[in-house]
């Protein structure tokens, strides 16, 4: 097998199927990454969504005995919507982050990786291939960095010189010993714009994030959002783009290479009030194809309540009262109590006192009492 010639063939093929960037690295362990992840764990900076086995995350040979190299791919996604939402005055909307626009990127990238696998298998039927996107064991960003896709920015994103950081990443471990590519030099320099832009100071320092403070993570949790973060979430109902939009490397970047990644404005910037009572079936129908729906409707609904409070939307008071009095989920009732405290005038006292008569959940009671106490001061 002439591996070098085949590498070029594979690069050419990847371009023909719409892969915007491809890079290659060895399958050797990510030793430095392992110590970084251990440190993150010690500090309590992990989100809990990660693969717990650090050896699997950092040693490709544990995932494939004969692993010899890793192929990293990147697909650029749009940063601006082609069509604007048709909003009437006073209508309040939430926003999904850009990585959640269009068809779930796990599906899109997987399809591209499967095509690459088939291309490899046609030439080399004995080849072994193991592909993954985001939820796989390996750390996509670490693989992409070592494979020369981009450098790891202070905002913890991979920044490609060609497309900025608005790229989806995926990778494939193989037993083919491809020649590795060179990593790209870090170009962040003295810049700290992403650190300054982060609404919750989640970027502890360049390249280190405390996931528990990150708005993108907070919007995906299912419990009560700690109060200190609620005002910072604004109208983000899924994800956060602040550290990427602030980055000068992303200035003017907006690529529309993949029709399946185009946003439907009414879906990614939905009206907030209807979200509060949306049925499971309607939620699935409207949002089911977005990666941002992976945690179900509860976090999105909770975030919609937070967003209505952010807008101080008086027209939402009846809906919020309904959530407070009738929603079976304590997280929703507690968040609604807080939101009513933000939006309402003195009428909130009567509403909350009425809710207290039937409320049995101690956490919701706490939220209600907190609002009442501030009104009594
Ligand atoms: Fe690097 Fe500046 Fe971009 Fe942050 S904003 S990732 S420091 S270039």
Please report whether residue 288 resides in a domain.
no
Please report whether residue 64 resides in a domain.
yes
Q: What is the CATH number of the domain that holds 329?
A: 1.25.10
Mutate to test the pocket of ligand 1, among 145, 167, 194 (most ligand atoms within 8 A of CB): 194
Domain boundary pick from 137, 155, 174: 174
| Residue 50 confidence (pLDDT) | 83
Domain boundary pick from 126, 147, 174: 174
Please report whether residue 104 resides in a domain.
yes
Which pLDDT tens digit goes with each residue over 160-173?
999 999 999 999 99
Q: How far, in Å, is the centroid of ligand 1 from the Cα of 313?
A: 35
Q: How far, in Å, is the centroid of ligand 1 from the Cα of 270?
A: 30
How would residue 376 be classed by pLDDT, with cut points 50, 70 and 90?
A: confident
Please report whether residue 234 resides in a domain.
no
> Catalytic annotation on 313?
no
Question: Quick one: average pLDDT of 45-67?
Answer: 92
- Tell the residue nearest (CA) to atom 5 of ligand 1: 247
Which pLDDT tens digit goes with each residue over 201-225?
999 999 999 999 999 999 999 999 9
- Tell the residue nearest (CA) to atom 4 of ligand 1: 194
Q: How far, in Å, is the centroid of ligand 1 from the Cα of 99?
A: 18
Which pLDDT tens digit goes with each residue over 261-301?
999 999 999 999 999 999 999 999 999 999 999 999 999 99
User: Does the C-beta of 92 come closer than 6 Å to ligand 1?
Assistant: no
Domain boundary pick from 154, 174, 194: 174
Q: How far, in Å, is the centroid of ligand 1 from the Cα of 161?
A: 13
Burial bucket for residue 325 (CB in 10 Å: 0-12, 13-18, 19+): middle
Q: String of b and e for 271-280 (b: at least 16 CB within 10 Å)? A: ebbebbebee
Select from 321, 330, 328 the least CA-distant residue to 364.
Answer: 330
| Residue 377 confidence (pLDDT) | 66
How would residue 242 be classed by pLDDT, with cut points 50, 70 and 90?
A: very high
Q: How far, in Å, is the centroid of ligand 1 from the Cα of 143?
A: 20
Question: Quick one: average pLDDT of 178-194?
Answer: 98
Please report whether residue 317 resides in a domain.
yes
pTM greater than the 0.75 cutoff = yes
- Tell the residue nearest (CA) to atom 1 of ligand 1: 188
Number of domains in the chain: 2
User: Does the C-beta of 248 come closer than 6 Å to ligand 1?
Assistant: yes
How would residue 85 be classed by pLDDT, with cut points 50, 70 and 90?
A: confident
Please report whether residue 183 resides in a domain.
no
User: Does the C-beta of 164 come closer than 6 Å to ligand 1?
Assistant: no
User: Does the C-beta of 250 come closer than 6 Å to ligand 1?
Assistant: no
- Tell the residue nearest (CA) to atom 8 of ligand 1: 188
Please report whether residue 210 resides in a domain.
no
User: Does the C-beta of 198 come closer than 6 Å to ligand 1?
Assistant: no
Query: Is the model's pLDDT at 99 over the cut of 70?
Result: yes
**254 Cβ contact partners less than 8 Å away, ≥ 6 residues apart:** 78, 79, 80
Query: Is the model's pLDDT at 1 over the cut of 80?
Result: no
Range of the domain at 24: 3-80+98-174
Question: Quick one: average pLDDT of 98-104?
Answer: 97
Could you identify the atom of ligand 1 that is nearest to the CA of residue 246?
A: 5
Please report whether residue 201 resides in a domain.
no
């Amino acid at each position: 097998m002439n591996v070098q010639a085949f590498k070029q063939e594979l690069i050419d093929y990847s371009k023909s199927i719409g892969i915007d960037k491809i890079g290659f690295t060895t399958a050797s362990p990510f030793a430095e990454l392992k110590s970084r992840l251990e440190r993150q764990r010690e500090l309590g900076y992990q989100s809990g969504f990660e693969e717990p086995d650090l050896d699997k995350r950092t040693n490709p040979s544990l995932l494939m005995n004969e692993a010899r190299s890793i192929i990293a791919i990147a697909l650029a996604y749009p940063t601006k919507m082609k069509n604007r939402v048709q909003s009437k005055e006073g209508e309040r909307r939430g926003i999904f982050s850009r990585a959640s626009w269009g068809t779930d990127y796990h599906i899109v990238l997987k399809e591209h990786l499967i095509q690459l696998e088939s291309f490899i298998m046609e030439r080399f039927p004995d080849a072994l291939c193991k592909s993954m996107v985001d939820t796989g064991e390996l750390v996509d960003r670490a693989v992409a960095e070592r494979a020369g896709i981009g450098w790891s920015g202070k905002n913890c994103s991979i920044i490609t010189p060609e497309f900025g950081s608005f790229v989806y990443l995926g990778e494939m471990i193989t037993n083919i010993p491809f020649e590795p590519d060179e990593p790209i030099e870090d170009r962040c320099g003295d810049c700290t714009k992403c650190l300054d832009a982060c609404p919750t100071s989640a970027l502890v320092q360049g390249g280190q994030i405390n996931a528990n403070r990150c708005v993108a993570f907070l919007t995906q949790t299912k419990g009560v959002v700690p109060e200190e973060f609620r005002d910072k979430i604004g109208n983000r109902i899924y994800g956060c783009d602040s550290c990427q939009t602030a980055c000068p490397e992303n200035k003017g970047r907006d690529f529309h290479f993949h029709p399946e990644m185009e946003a439907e404005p009414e879906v990614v910037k939905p009206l907030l009030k209807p979200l509060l009572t949306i049925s499971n079936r309607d939620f699935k129908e409207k949002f089911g194809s977005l990666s941002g729906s992976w945690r179900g409707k509860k976090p999105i609904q909770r975030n919609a309540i937070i967003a209505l409070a952010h807008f101080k939307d008086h027209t939402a008071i009846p809906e919020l009262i309904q959530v407070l009095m009738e929603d079976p989920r304590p997280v929703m009732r507690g968040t609604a109590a807080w939101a009513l405290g933000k939006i309402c005038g003195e009428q909130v006292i009567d509403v909350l006192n009425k809710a207290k008569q039937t409320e049995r959940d101690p956490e919701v009671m706490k939220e209600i009492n907190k609002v009442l106490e501030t009104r009594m001061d």
